Amino acid sequence: MPRASSSSRRSRRRRSLSGGAGQVALSTSFFTALALVFIATGTVLSGEPERAVERGRVLARLDEFTRSGESGVHAIPAFLRLPGMLGIEGEGARFEPLSEAELRKGFCTSSVAQMIRHRYPNDYKSIDDAEPERRVLGSHPEYRDQICDLPAWIAAAPHQVVKYEITTTPASGVPFVLAWLGAAFVTVGVGFVTLDVYYRMLIRRFAAAS
């Protein structure tokens, strides 16, 4: 009898150790799976953040402002006082900065007579506006449509000389903190569902055994 009792105790001890090891392995697998769920969900939700997009918007063009006649005899000083950055518009809504000091060396006007006086400063100072037009336009008809005389190193037409602003469109996507907070909620939910299913199966097993 003592030998049988001792053998029984050793058997129960082995089963207890075996059951404890199984529970440790099961717990480790459970938490490892939850960690993988958390990492995978957080990675998917956060993704690769999109960059903010910068776009240029034209506020005013030198030729249009000059033809409007709002600036008086010389349009460039008034144009420079307009809001926005000064630049040259290129392809694809790209802008190259332009120095105000360089643009001030040019001359823009909506008056044909004033443009002629600018090109021939010593010839038509004290005569009526109609006289320069009559004398010059016959041999130089291109002056009729010329509104600006820009320095040669400004490689742009008056229509390309602009005042502009840069607008920034914020990057879209789920913010980093919210993405991982959402991953935590998903992981907790998966954990609760898994434990619920596990304990339901365990209860059924005990019920069937009894």
**Structure confidence by residue, pLDDT tens digits, 103-155:** 999 999 888 777 777 777 766 566 565 665 666 666 667 667 788 889 999 98
Q: In this structure, is residue 58 part of a structural domain?
A: yes
Q: Say how many CA atoms lie within 13 Å of 93 toward its Cβ.
A: 11
State yes or no: pLDDT of 1 exceeds 50: no
* Max avg pLDDT among 14-18, 20-24, 29-33, 175-179: 29-33
Answer yes or no: is 196 within a domain. Answer: no
Is residue 76 one of the residues assigned to a domain?
yes
Domains identified in the chain, total number: 1
What pLDDT does 94 receive?
A: 85
Parent domain of 160: 53-167
DSSP secondary structure string for all residues of 175-198: -HHHHHHHHHHHHHHHHHHHHHHH
- Checking if the pLDDT of 190 tops 70, the result is yes
pLDDT for position 17: 43
Helices assigned H by DSSP within 47-175: 62-67, 75-80, 100-103, 112-119, 130-136
20 belongs to a structural domain: no
Determine, yes or no, domain membership for 202.
Answer: no
Q: Please check the confidence at residue 4 and state whether its pLDDT lies above 50.
A: no
List of residues 6+ apart from 71 with CB closer than 8 A: 65, 77, 78, 79, 108, 110
Which one, of 188, 176, 196, lies nearest residue 46 by Cα? 176
Mean pLDDT of the chain: 76
Is 205 a domain residue?
Answer: no
- Residue 189 is encoded by which pair of tokens? 């939910």
Q: What is the pLDDT of residue 188?
A: 85
Would residue 3 count as lying in a domain?
no
